[in-house]
Amino acid sequence: MTKKVAVLGEIRDGSLRNVSFEGLAAARTIAEGGEILAVLVGASLGTLAQDMIHYGADRVVTVEDEKLAQYTPDGFSQAFLSVVEQEKPEAIVFGHTALGKDLAPKIASRLGCGLISDAVDVEIAGGNVVFTRPIYSGKAFEKKIVSDGIVFATIRPNNIAPLEKETSRAGEVTALSAEIKDLRTIVREVAKKATQGVDLSEAKIIVAGGRGVKSADGFSPLQELADVLGGAVGASRGACDAEYCDYSLQIGQTGKVVTPDLYIACGISGAIQHLAGMSNSKVIVAINKDPEANIFKVADYGIVGDLFEVVPMLAEEFKNL
């Protein structure tokens, strides 16, 4: 059955996050030939609507307001719900990001519908929209269908490939003037950690370090390899607890969940809590001097050796490619 699907475009630093385009690809499946509606919420949206159209949106509704310059659950839910009220979509897709995880349950409860969170795949089977999502910290996957009401899902970044960008695609862009009642006083100041290069949660390549890096300086060869590969640096909690790096780099059950194309684990033992955050990576390379290390059980390629010898060698080799 064809559906109208609304996809929230997520904006960071004036650009759309990749997960927005992945959401459009998921919507293409869910819509079954129906309309794909992109929703953009913010203060100055510029040409972002065109980007959503180039990646598969049929139409875009924007809600632009100074009060929406920064994300707030109240402001964004009012804006998004006003679009829902006008457009009445039968399905909604958000990214499973910090913003999506915060906003989606609030919207779902207001709409009185369920929410399938952290979907890694979507297909049509037996006339139903079927989502696949990980359970038990990624050790198993379950299939979920929505039998009644609005189909609402958040999708995990890096799992559903975006559609090919087509700059010749055209679509209508309409502005919706919604009344945004600011319920709180917001101090418009963002305290940002100085991060280098690629965003960890959307990175296609991650070079992660564990307690085996032995110091903050020990991360330098990992950063160099990540720079050569155009990737990001991540860490185990062991490395964060030892104050070798910031907790924003932590990957695992109580850190970020990532699914890059390539995950290079350096000096990480492979504790179950770490695996929960990275074991669904497409290709895993483990570098560890202990041949019995648990990380080798999930690795596609294992290198038994000292990371301080192996990592610079890899960086050198990749530089020469």
Q: Which two tokens stand for residue 233?
A: 């640096």
Binding characters for ligand FAD, 147-186, by CB under 6 A (x = yes): ----------------------------------------
Question: Which residues between 184 and 213 bind ligand FAD (CB under 6 A)?
Answer: 210-212
CB of 143 to ligand FAD, least distance (A): 26
CB of 210 to ligand FAD, least distance (A): 2
Q: Does 299 bind ligand FAD (CB under 6 A)?
A: no
Residues within the annotated binding site for FAD? Answer: 211, 236-237, 250-254, 267-274, 288
- Distance (Å, whole) CA 159 – CA 258: 10
Complex with ligand FAD: residue 11 or 268, whichever CB lies closer: 268
DSSP string spanning 122-167?
Answer: EEEETTEEEEEEEETTTTEEEEEE--SS-EEEEE-TTSSPPPPP-T
Strands 59-64, 36-42: pairing is: parallel
Q: From the list 9, 221, 255, 260, which residue makes contact with ligand FAD (rule: CB under 6 A)?
A: 255
Proportion of the chain in helix, strand, coil states, percent, rounded to 5: 30, 25, 40
Q: Does 250 bind ligand FAD (CB under 6 A)?
A: yes
Selected range binding ligand FAD among 31-39, 53-61, 132-140, 269-277, rule: CB under 6 A: 269-277
Q: Does 307 bind ligand FAD (CB under 6 A)?
A: yes
CB of 155 to ligand FAD, least distance (A): 22
What are φ and ψ of residue 193, in 5° steps?
Answer: -70, 140
- 114 contact partners, CB below 8 Å, separation of at least 6: 108, 146, 149, 152
Q: Which two tokens stand for residue 311?
A: 């990592």
Specify the DSSP class assigned to residue 58. S
Contact 27, 5 (CB under 8 A): yes
Q: From the list 45, 92, 268, 315, which residue makes contact with ligand FAD (rule: CB under 6 A)?
A: 268
Q: HSE of 92 in the Cβ direction (CA atoms, 13 Å)?
A: 27
Q: Does 308 bind ligand FAD (CB under 6 A)?
A: yes
Q: Does 293 bind ligand FAD (CB under 6 A)?
A: yes
Interface with ligand FAD (CB under 6 A), residue total 27
Q: Does 254 bind ligand FAD (CB under 6 A)?
A: yes
User: The dihedral of CA 77, 83, 86, 92: what is its sign?
Assistant: negative
- Distance (Å, whole) CA 209 – CA 223: 10
Cβ neighbours, 10 Å, residue 317: 10
Q: Does 236 bind ligand FAD (CB under 6 A)?
A: yes
Q: From the list 237, 257, 285, 315, which residue makes contact with ligand FAD (rule: CB under 6 A)?
A: 237
Complex with ligand FAD: residue 17 or 274, whichever CB lies closer: 274
Our measurement of the distance from residue 136's CA atom to the centroid of its chain's CA atoms, rounded to an integer in Å, reads 19
Q: From the list 85, 166, 261, 306, which residue makes contact with ligand FAD (rule: CB under 6 A)?
A: 306
The residues pairing with 63 across neighbouring beta strands, listed in sequence order, are 41
Q: Does 267 bind ligand FAD (CB under 6 A)?
A: yes
Complex with ligand FAD: residue 29 or 273, whichever CB lies closer: 273
Nearest to 58 by CA among 82, 33, 88: 33
Question: Which residues between 109 and 128 bind ligand FAD (CB under 6 A)?
Answer: none
Nearest to 137 by CA among 123, 118, 154: 118
Complex with ligand FAD: residue 122 or 311, whichever CB lies closer: 311
Q: From the list 102, 132, 273, 312, which residue makes contact with ligand FAD (rule: CB under 6 A)?
A: 273
Which parts of this chain interact with ligand FAD (CB under 6 A)?
Answer: 210-212, 236-239, 250, 252-255, 267-269, 271, 273-274, 277, 287-290, 293, 306-308
